[in-house]
Amino acid sequence: MNLHSTIATQNLLIDGVRVAPRSDRYFDTLNPATGEVLAHVAEAGPEDIDIAVASARAALDGDWGNMRPADRGYLMLKLADRIREAQDELIELESLDSGKPVSAIRRQDLPAVLDTLTYYAGMADKINGTVVPARPDALTYTVREPIGVVGAIIPWNFPLMIGMWKIAPALACGCTVVLKPAEITPLTALRIGELAIEAGFPIGVLNVVPGFGKVAGQALVDHPDVDKVSFTGSPVVGRQILRSAAGNLKRVTLELGGKSANIIFPDADVDAAVRAAGSGIFFNTGQVCSAGSRILAHEAIYDEVVEKLAARAKSMRVGNPTEASTSMGPLVSEVQMKRVLDYIDIGIKEGASVVAGGERVGDTGYFVAPTVFAGVEHDMRISQEEIFGPVATVIKFRDDDDALRIANGTVYSLAAGVWTADINRVHRFTRKLKAGTVWVNTYGPTDIRLPWGGARDSGFGREHGEAAIDNFTEPKVVWVNTGR
């Protein structure tokens, strides 16, 4: 397969066809492992967004809206088949565009995409209302209608997977979608849009509009005919979206950042904990909203944890994401690499010590060595702010109360982990940790069947599971007067 010839120019996908943007403006998407241009991508502007939203509205009022829910589910299963057939291409494309190791995409992202699609396909005809016997003179019941046109805005860290977390439940509920992928990773979203057309989805059900957040994303959020915005990204943009969505009181779901604590007690299996702590922060080059970026180690095992984690960091194979042996790829962009390197400088100036990594790797591509900071204090910036890179901070704690105070002491509450063999402590911590997910004696797994999300600066609302069905439906009460 010659990707370079097939992806040289990537147009918008609106109303079932690939179209040039009204402005005729294109931007480059790069391969972060080499810095080379992969493709020229159409930049959606407000006019393109208007057309995409109109197309999504027409599909909602037309073929898609009138389809049997079970048939929507069957189409979703067909899309899963097309994705499975095209998986090698999708994996390669995702890796080239984002720098994620192919091995990780094959093991994790692609199966999660298929699992998500299949799970929600099965839900399409099970979105039931309830008969509520409120009165003797009426038949009163609820139905759950599609919320309408959904604007889905996604980040660059899991383009395929997070895209599907939004598309699949929205389609199962009978909504139509305008998807704005992150500007630096637009390629697989466009391909998924094409596969949906090949699978037989009516035109307009899924439109894909790459472009800049401040232009295309903002136009989608401002659009009076978009009913719901489902957003994953940073707290800064999340706040902006909330303000803009006030215009027509759009429904909004926000999945934002984190600075999650992974707490290790001496009675835990320390080797297993350190292994998981390593993948908890270095997986996807640390560009994970729920990354276990703060490793809290009890003072009795602090030195052991630091030493073993540093050894793990040093043993990682950083390199070309297309090689099967690579365990960590580059950061997604030069901007992101600089941000991470800046934070490493900040940590050093704050007085923490680098015990592994701490620098760029090579001078081509955006690689940073897996980095471990020891001697980290709770109030340092590297321990409070989301770095979104392969930088672990190891913080010492004295006892349970100290651990809880530190763990809950940031503006985020997305996820947390606790490692202990003490059953009482397990339950005390699962109760007291402020987080949407608490992992016990493991770190990081997610499953589409379980609600996912956070509170405070980590956003609000939950995706996954049945929670996502609530996100994309609007309840309606029907009151039929029957007389007595």
* Spatial distance between the Cα atoms of 436 and 257, rounded to a whole number of angstroms: 12
Degrees to nearest 5, angle at CA 416 with 295 and 332: 70
- Residue 157 binds: one of Mg ion, ligand NAP, none (C-beta under 5 to 8 A by kind): ligand NAP
Nearest-approach distance from CB 97 to Mg ion, in angstroms: 4
CA-atom Rg of the chain in angstroms: 23
Binding residues for ligand NAP, per CB under 6 A? Answer: 153-157, 162, 180, 182-183, 212-214, 217-218, 221, 232-234, 237, 240-241, 255-258, 289, 386, 388, 414
**Chain Cα centroid distance, residue 19:** 27
- Residue 218 binds: one of ligand NAP, Mg ion, none (C-beta under 5 to 8 A by kind): ligand NAP
Nearest-approach distance from CB 250 to ligand NAP, in angstroms: 12
Q: Considering only 90-98, 258-266, 297-305, 468-476, which stretch makes contact with Mg ion by CB under 5 A? A: 90-98
Place of tokens 């899924």: 206
Check if 289 is active-site: yes
Nearer to Mg ion, 44 or 264 (CB): 44
Check if 255 is active-site: yes
- Residue 476 binds: one of ligand NAP, Mg ion, none (C-beta under 5 to 8 A by kind): none
Nearest-approach distance from CB 152 to ligand NAP, in angstroms: 10
- Residue 221 binds: one of Mg ion, ligand NAP, none (C-beta under 5 to 8 A by kind): ligand NAP
183 binds Mg ion (CB under 5 A): no
Neighbours of 256 (CB within 10 A): 26
- Which one-letter DSSP state was computed for residue 483? -
* Spatial distance between the Cα atoms of 481 and 484, rounded to a whole number of angstroms: 9
Nearer to ligand NAP, 190 or 356 (CB): 190
Instruction: Say if CB 254 and CB 241 are below 8 A apart.
Output: yes
Instruction: Say if CB 296 and CB 261 are below 8 A apart.
Output: yes
Site for Mg ion in 22-41 (CB under 5 A): 29-30
Nearer to ligand NAP, 45 or 217 (CB): 217
- Residue 29 binds: one of ligand NAP, Mg ion, none (C-beta under 5 to 8 A by kind): Mg ion
Residue count of the chain: 484
Catalytic residue among 289, 307, 323, 463: 289
Catalytic residue among 255, 334, 385, 474: 255
Of the candidate residues 94, 97, 183, 227, the single one contacting Mg ion (CB under 5 A) = 97
Q: How far is CA 414 from CA 65, 231, 281, 391, in A?
A: 35, 15, 15, 18
Neighbours of 302 (CB within 10 A): 20
What are the beta bridge partners of residue 453?
none
Nearest-approach distance from CB 278 to ligand NAP, in angstroms: 19
* Spatial distance between the Cα atoms of 331 and 328, rounded to a whole number of angstroms: 9
* Spatial distance between the Cα atoms of 158 and 390, rounded to a whole number of angstroms: 16
Query: Which residues are tagged catalytic?
Result: 255, 289
